[in-house]
Amino acid sequence: MRAAALLVGFAAAADPLYDFGQSSLVKLGDDNFATDMTKDTKHVWVVEYYADWCGHCKNFAKGYEKAATNLKGIVKFGAVNADEARSVMQMAGVQSFPTIKLYEAETTRNPYTGKMMKTAIDYNGPRNARALVEFATSKLPSFVTPVTDKSATAFKANGTLPRALLFTSKSETAPMFKAISLKLQGRMLLGEAREKEAPELATEMGVASYPALLVLPGGEAAPVVYDGELKPEAVTLTLTLTRTLTLTLTLARKLTLTLTVTVTVTLTLRWRASSRASPRRSPPRPARRPAARPWRARSWRSR
């Protein structure tokens, strides 16, 4: 009892481990764990379960924040204070500190509680930023379509979604592009053309250097070259705005066509209706010309 009381008193006196107002970390607790993390299907999450008084947590705090900063816009990092989120701690089955779990983006329904849940993967690697970054990026799903010279035509004609194409000299898809493909899944089609696999396509689209990101509006519109910084938040914002603009223009074209067809059909129906409603009149008969009188020769006597 005495040891427990001392432990509680020590926990109350410990300084906060993280300043969430100045950090890339998201503070998670009983009130927002389900809404902010579990319901988020557009990001992979790394969550640390910690205690302010834990010595191992203090030693790892800087490394954890550094990993969160390095993967900002790619993987979300959260932190759960064990002394403030008892329900979440119990649900996660945490028994020691710090405990780090990676949560995949996809959600499933818990067969016992009926609530939505995510698959959790325990991180048991070294307690440093580099190792944690490598672990987190290795778990990123990819929805990027490989594009080659042979498959370029099929990619351009694939469905009705707006498209973006990244020309790269790297042999593997970058974590940033994987993360963006996850965020825009089902809303925008992302392709990746590698230098050795799509040289003709690069020449066709005027790509002179790598990397190069092009947005394909569709139709006969020319590709738009992205000339901003290749950072997750900037690229995501640009592609999202481009997608919205493309869909708006497409919708406007469809509405214009629909309006034209509607007006044409309406006028045609009105003309037919008016033609049927008006009574039919027989064509006027031609006027009879008076019969010509027989010509008689007039005698000189009658004068």
How much is the pLDDT for 132?
A: 98
CATH 3.30.70.3460 fits 145-246, yes or no: no
CB atoms within 10 A of CB 166: 25
- Residue 242, sorted as left (phi over 0), alpha (psi -120 to 50) or beta, turns out to be alpha
The proportion of the chain whose per-residue pLDDT surpasses 90, expressed as a percent, equals 61
Paired tokens of 161: 């979604």
- Domain spans, the chain: 10-138, 145-246
Q: Which fold has domain 10-138?
A: Glutaredoxin (3.40.30)
- State which residues of the chain have pLDDT below 70: 1-13, 219-220, 243-303
Domains 10-138 and 145-246 share a fold: yes
How much is the pLDDT for 193?
A: 98
How far, in Å, CA of 144 to CA of 127, rounded? Answer: 31
Q: Encode pLDDT of 171-216 as tens digits.
A: 999 999 999 999 999 999 999 999 999 999 999 999 999 999 999 8
**Residue 183 near residue 236 (C-beta atoms within 8 A):** yes
Pairing of strands 99-109, 45-50: antiparallel
Q: Is 303 helix (H, G, I), strand (E, B) or coil?
A: coil
pTM more than 0.95: no
How much is the pLDDT for 294?
A: 55
CB atoms within 10 A of CB 92: 18
Which of 12, 101, 98 is CA-nearest to residue 55? 98
